[in-house]
Structure 1
């Protein structure tokens, strides 16, 4: 018990932390979703097509009212509606599956980086729990390479896509050769100064960095840091990372077959061009807003599927790869900073 009048020591106060800060960051909504027509929506993308069908319907109504009756039986609409509905369901279902699979595979990459980071920081020491300054520097370098893997995966998946540009060059598209043949400033500082880039020879940067990690694993076995079964576990984590990246690459470079896209667009356009003829006799001028509403609905569904088809870009509805990579970097940096602290209770070295 503390002596009378003495000051009882206060426990150390924990610093506030923000896990997954970038990923969970949300701006307050100024407008209800039902009133939003720009950010996050496909309205501007489908507006020209909707206006075209409104104009076409106007011409049909005018011709039917003042020139000659051109109405068709309304019974043809249900049969066409079934076909259009089935095609849109398949379109959106397959597109969302690509989005969901891409997100899961990105989680697999982040999980592998987390596992390798904690394992390297905790276990990269000999049986006496010692390591030299050079070995510590080697461990820190490979952790930085693991962080660079996240950024290289992101940029590799986005290579050849249109990127946000400053106002003076907003209409330009990022050249493909630039996007895959140079080290990005975002992660170039994480790599050794003389780290080579073999992308000009066809070797993707994520795969190149995985070789560097594998070489570190081999050095760990030679140094006696872990037994072969442990090295096998670590190599499995690295293999899972490369496998997840390969799956995302497949999603990125294997779009929905163009024959399906062409036919779906043609069937949708045909349905909306037949619809005015089935409505004109009964609804006359009211057919214009009704067709506009139907076109807005159907083309909107098709537009959402088109955005979700490639989930690795910069659209509002794409996977938040920038935020996910930043949060993973914060986690690894926090572990690395604690690991540098020789009195760390987290790693319990002494």
Structure 2
């Protein structure tokens, strides 16, 4: 087997990296790199340096400035870049921890639901309605993960929004139809699995301001109430399950805060201007000492500084599709697969077809 073939392992097969690197990271200029977003400013500063050197050597005589100006500016540039990158990585790390909190809550709730859902008497079985209710709510738990992911990516109206905003004569069918994002573009890929997890007939109300994750947590809490009435959960257990839902909603709220609260525009404007000022002053400070060597020196400095700033831009909103974003698709897929295995084994046990994970659901 080739050493570069991806070898999946379970669990966490989709969220962790198993493919060996073909090239050292120092030689990588495409996947995961930020070169594409900094090439234009680096090129422009290099061309500006060529102009400065040309003027210094052939036109205006010496146009150099005292080199002592550079340390003063470099301190300001360094402090601003450290602040920007530190703030952006904190947003990335907080978002990842919140996703872990949500996944943990979903796991805990699914575990409690499947273990506690059982017949009332010794040896009795669940009714068909109770089995369908439990299976539906475990699927809803997985659907919450997808709903959170899509909401953080501004992919709304999956499933279709409520019909309240449509005139009666123009209301669309309530059957499954292609969903749309905030730009009106059809979203047809990677949504079928998500839609299949939602209860039949569920209608979203995102067009009226109700987020689908919150709507789905209401279904979960309603199931907890029904389980308490059926005698599946005692009071403290039902209370702890409600705490898990509260933790899930709280973590989602923190992720929404990251998504909807960008770095203040005043900071971004000033940082861009300081970077531009520093890289424009630098050629004048080194042209007398380095001549044409100033061009590659300025290019390297601009590459370094704009690269650091570009990393901060990428990490600022960590919920998208970029290589450097949180691997939400893989993490959620791992959780879905994990819970689907538990649900299949629980269903087999409830139907009397097996012992269910070696008697785990006894």
- Fold similarity call, TM over 0.5: yes
Q: Which residue of 2 aligns with 1:248?
A: 255
1:16-55 deviation line (CA, Å, top 9, x unaligned): 9711000114333222111111110011110000000001
1:187 paired residue number: 194
Match of 1:50 in 2: 42
Q: Which moved more, 1:26-35 or 1:84-93?
A: 26-35
Write out aligned runs for 1:202-241 (5 A): 202-241=209-248
Deviation digits for residues 193-226 of structure 1, max 9, x if unmatched? 2112111211111111001101101111111111
Residues 157-197 of structure 1: CA distance to partner in whole angstroms, max 9, x if unpaired? 00169xxxxxxxxxxxx851548999943311112221121
Whether 1:268 and 2:275 are equivalent positions in the alignment is: yes
What residue number does 2:23 align with?
A: 31
Answer with 117-126 or 248-257: which moved more. 117-126
Give the TM-score normalised by the residue count of structure 1.
Answer: 0.88
Paired position in structure 2 for 1:6: none
Deviation at 1:128, TM superposition (A): 3.2
Query: Is the aligned partner of 1:82 residue 2:78?
Result: no
Counterpart contact for 2:346–2:361, Cα < 8 Å: no
User: Over residues 274-323 of structure 1, what are the superposed CA-to-partner deviations in whole Å (9 max), with x where a residue is unaligned?
Assistant: 00000011111000000000000000000000000000001000000000
**Is residue 182 of structure 2 the alignment partner of residue 176 of structure 1?**
yes
How many equivalent residue pairs?
323
SS of the residue 1:21 aligns to: coil
Whether the aligned pair in 2 keeps the contact of 1:181 and 1:200 (CA below 8 Å) is no
Matches within 5 A, 1:264-303: 264-303=271-310
Listed as ranges, the gaps of 5+ residues in structure 1 are 1-15, 162-173
Q: Contact conserved, 2:181 with 2:187, CA < 8 A, in 1? A: no
1:143 paired residue among 138, 143, 150: 138
Match of 2:84 in 1: 91
| More deviation, 146-155/184-193 | 184-193
Give 5+ residue unaligned stretches, structure 2: 1-7, 157-179, 350-354
8 A Cα contact 1:124 1:139, kept in partner: yes
Q: Distance in 2 between the 1:269 and 1:17 partners?
A: 47
Q: Secondary structure at the match of 2:324?
A: coil
Cα RMSD for the two superposed structures? 2.1
Q: Distance in 2 between matches of 1:116 and 1:80?
A: 54
TM-score, L = length of structure 2? 0.85
